[in-house]
Amino acid sequence: MESYDFVVIGSGSGLSVASVAANRDQSVAVVEKGPLGGTCLNRGCIPSKLLLYHADVLETVRRAEEFHLDVEVRDVDFGTIVREVTEEVAREAEAIRHGLRESPSHTLFEGEGHFVGERTVEITSGNDAGTRIKGENVLIAAGTRPAIPDIDGIDDVAFLTSTEALRLETPPEHLLIVGGGYIAAELAHFFGTFGSDVTVVGRRPHLLPEADAAVAELFTDRYADRFTVHTGHAVTAVVEDGEGAVTLTARPYAYSEDGVPGGIDDDADPVTATGDALLIAAGRRPNTDTLTLDAAGVAVDDAGFVETDDYLRTTADGVWALGDIVGEYLLKHSANHEARAVIRNLFGSERRPVDYTAMPFAVFASPEVAGVGARESDLAAADREYATSTYRYEDTARGNAMHAEGLVKVLVAPDGEILGTHIVGPDAAALIQEVVVAMKAGTGTVTDIRESVHVHPALPEVVQRAFAGRFTHAGHDHHD
């Protein structure tokens, strides 16, 4: 059995920790069963956002008539778009693989690994099958995979997950999407812009249930204008006709006022939809079930995510974990943040808890959505006093020039502390960043945003004006 100073399972954000270990002259082993670079590079953020930008450009061109521009899109080479993105991702993955193979400090084991003892991993596939390695420290960063819901007939139907959808070289004529979260929203925008009819079925009352309710409601209304949307419904059955057509059946699904699932209403009339492609985008599940974690003494929670303490240590000595498999935030920037925390706590002189303050999210759909901090429902459920202000894009000079629709919603405490900010509209992912900085690095108050000079007439004025507005809630006025 070979021994290493540091072993990492997974080649996403965990590679940052491995690089620091190697720079400290430690021997490093990397275990990866798929292409190098992890979910983000190969099946997630990078290919999806590269493709989505093409959709954004096409959508902009098609809106040219609004600005009295006579523009015609004569052709779309969809296959070339997808192939170029696929090839670029493959080159990046191969570059990482080549770098690890050439590194004198790294040993790459290309195959699936699982624990067979304390900090001991066995490679079970590939050329290294049967090899056992042990690490002085082991980092679990093996990510997640698409969750497949329990739907009658799902095993007998050809369906796509996001992995396969990102490689389709021909858009479906009619795409059925099961799920109403980030992935469903982004892929609906992509394929819908390139000509697919799209039907989206989600269990929650609105799409993007993790967003603030006001943003989720506006987003859902906009999507209902673009696509066929059935919110508040759960898909109960799917069937394929043998010629490639898939029909789904969905029934109303109830939630209580505080968001507790109530279940399917079997007595209500179902809705049906038929398409030539079915995309399952109903969340992610951790890859912990492939790792035999009990052999290493690593505990998981009820949802299967690795349990860690505030420093990202697992229940086993010398075993750490980060990224999606921890389940705190299933976001690449969160995984990178956690990697920096592990580096500090594993190699630094003083350990500090990982700080998730002001962790933002963004959805690169149309409209774009971003948020940071608490939602109004979170504050109401906690019986916390707060005030809110909203400002619309179209009420700014730049927003009006863009013919933009959208809003910025701000939530603050009575003392002016920023509790949360939520945006739906163009460039939401960029606009949220000044709020993140204020919450993380500044005093984190309304004044930080309101009194900072904003370029006029630039789009960030919509954020400033949301913070400069009159904050009201439940009869309380807030003046900061």
Q: How many domains does the chain have?
A: 3
Query: Is there a single domain that holds both residue 305 and residue 256?
Result: no
Amino acid letter for position 427: D
Place of tokens 């930080």: 448
Residues 343 and 426 in one domain: no
The tokens describing 382, both together, are: 């906690």
Q: In this structure, is residue 185 part of a structural domain?
A: yes
Give the ranges where 382-442 is alpha helix by DSSP (H): 397-401, 428-431, 433-441
Helices (H), 7-77: 14-23, 38-43, 45-62
> Is residue 352 a part of any domain in this protein?
no
Q: What is the pLDDT of residue 442?
A: 75
Catalytic residue (one of 54, 106, 337, 456): 456
On whether the CB atoms of residues 215 and 431 are closer than 8 A, the answer is no
Over the chain (480 residues), what is each successive 10-residue block's mean pLDDT? Answer: 96 97 98 95 95 98 96 96 98 97 96 97 92 98 97 97 97 98 98 98 96 97 98 96 93 82 86 98 97 98 98 98 97 97 96 96 98 96 95 97 97 96 98 97 90 96 94 52
Which residue blocks in 276-387 are alpha helix, DSSP H? 332-347, 376-381
What is the rounded distance in angstroms from the CA atom of residue 3 to the CA atom of residue 5? 7
275 and 300, same structural domain? no
pLDDT of residue 472: 79
Is residue 357 a part of any domain in this protein? no
Entry pTM: 0.95
Which of 296, 313, 347 marks a domain boundary?
Answer: 347
**Closest residue by Cα to residue 388 from 307, 446, 473:** 473
Domain at 408, CATH number: 3.30.390.30
Task: Please give the Cα distance from 451 to 432 (Å, whole number).
Answer: 17
Q: Give yes or no: residues 386 and 469 share one domain.
A: yes
Is there a domain that residue 399 lies in? Answer: yes
Residue 456 a catalytic site member: yes
pLDDT at 253: 94
Examine the fold and report which residue of 282, 316, 334 is the final residue of a domain before the chain moves on: 282
Judgement on whether residues 7 and 74 belong to the same structural domain of the protein:
yes
Q: Do 414 and 338 belong together in one domain?
A: no
Query: Contact 462/393 with Cβ under 8 angstroms?
Result: yes
Q: How far is CA 63 from CA 59, 67, 71, 121, 197, in A?
A: 6, 8, 9, 55, 19
Amino acid 473: pLDDT: 63
Predicted local confidence at residue 475, as pLDDT: 33
In a domain, 39, yes or no: yes
Same domain flag for 104 and 69: yes
* Domain identity same for 277 and 180: yes
Q: Does residue 334 sit in the same domain as residue 466?
A: no
* 255 within domain boundaries: yes
Max CA pair span of the chain: 71
Q: Which of 37, 8, 13, 4 is nearest to 340 (CA)?
A: 13
Report which secondary-structure segment, H or E, holds 104: none
Residues linked to residue 202 through DSSP beta bridges, in sequence order: 231
- The whole domain housing 388 covers 367-478
Q: Is residue 361 part of a domain?
A: no
Give the pLDDT score at 408.
Answer: 98
Same domain for 182 and 126? no
CATH number of the domain within which 30 lies: 3.50.50.60
Shared domain check, 120 and 8:
yes
| CB 18 within 8 Å of CB 6 | yes
Residue 354 domain-assigned?
A: no
Are 200 and 99 part of one and the same domain?
no
Domain-ending residue, one of 282, 301, 331? 282
**Helices marked H in 397-450 — which ranges?**
397-401, 428-431, 433-441, 446-450
